Amino acid sequence: MEGYPYFFNISVNDNMRNLAYKHAKLRCQRIKRQFIPRHAPLSHEESNFVGVLGELAVQWLIFGKINLESQYGALQTDDGDIAIADKSYDIKTEAVPSRFYEKLVTGKIKPYEPYGCRVWTARHRHHLDKYTGGIIFTALPIPNDSRMDKQFKTIRPRIVNCATEVIVMGFASPGAVAEKEPTEYSPPHPVTGKQRRYNSPNYIFHHSELDSLKELIIFKHHSAKEH
């Protein structure tokens, strides 16, 4: 499957999975989740697992190594997920059902299609000043029917096993976010005009609007493959 130019495909190994599992559990205990989307296909723990894998993938891409803080203050919110060249970035990782993920990887997904836009909740707008570098967007695959056997307070093995890779798509600068107006709806279909409603107002970006992380990479290695 040929990937979209400027995406980076990071393979997930057992060490990354184990770290993500451990830290997902810790974060559920110590970090306050500000809201839970309705009808989400993943549990709180699984959402944290996905988020940690996204952070590890970006760390590996930028620095060629992974490292996570183990000390989480009680019910704290974050000040950014990664610092690159003295700038702080939030990392937004999406869990995308496999049938849509395959189209996203190729870059052929349209903004009006399901999972066609990268989203950053307007509920975090007051945190934007902390993210001096911007928002980094990543994604990984989950089973198409993840919602069917969703379990609370657990991380299902099939969610873990499906997470074989993370694509790092790019980033939106604080200025690019500030220029957008948050919306509750996806872009309209060009023929039917149909729009999908989000769980809450979001700043939305098609991947073609994102800046590449290529110039931010500090560690030059061959395992982070740019498509």
Q: Scanning the structure block, which residue is given the tokens 């709180």?
A: 44
Interatomic CA distance for residues 9 and 96, integer angstroms:
15
- Take residue 20 and report the two structure tokens written for it: 């993500």
Q: Are strands 134-142 and 118-121 parallel, antiparallel or unpaired?
A: unpaired
Q: Per-residue pLDDT for 95 more than 70?
A: yes
In a domain, 28, yes or no: yes
User: pLDDT for 80-92, tens place per residue?
Assistant: 899 999 999 999 9
User: pLDDT for 96-129, tens place per residue?
Assistant: 999 999 999 999 999 999 999 999 999 999 999 9
Q: Per-residue pLDDT for 219 more than 90?
A: no
Q: Is there a contact between 183 and 196 (Cβ–Cβ < 8 Å)?
A: no
Buried b (16+ CB within 10 A) or exposed e, 52-75: bbbbbbbbbbbeeebebeeeeeee
Residue 31 or residue 147, greater confidence: 147
- Take residue 8 and report the two structure tokens written for it: 């980076």
Q: Per-residue pLDDT for 224 more than 90?
A: no
Q: Scanning the structure block, which residue is given the tokens 């919602």?
A: 147
**Strand ranges inside 53-86, DSSP E:** 82-84
Which structural domain, as residue segments, surrounds residue 168? 8-226
Q: What is the pLDDT of residue 37?
A: 67
User: pLDDT for 121-175, tens place per residue?
Assistant: 999 999 999 999 999 999 999 999 999 999 888 999 999 999 999 999 999 999 9
Q: How many domains does the chain have?
A: 1
CA angle 98, 108, 39 (to 5 degrees): 40
Interatomic CA distance for residues 198 and 186, integer angstroms:
7
pTM of the model: 0.91
In a domain, 71, yes or no: yes
pLDDT band at 220 (very low <50, low <70, confident <90, very high): low
User: Phi and psi of 127, rounded to 5°?
Assistant: -90, -10
In a domain, 174, yes or no: yes
The per-residue pLDDT of the chain, averaged, comes to: 90
In a domain, 1, yes or no: no
In a domain, 2, yes or no: no
User: pLDDT for 36-87, tens place per residue?
Assistant: 666 789 999 999 999 999 999 999 999 999 988 765 555 455 678 999 999 9
Q: What is the pLDDT of residue 3?
A: 76
Distances (CA, A) of 191 to 17, 196, 204: 42, 14, 21
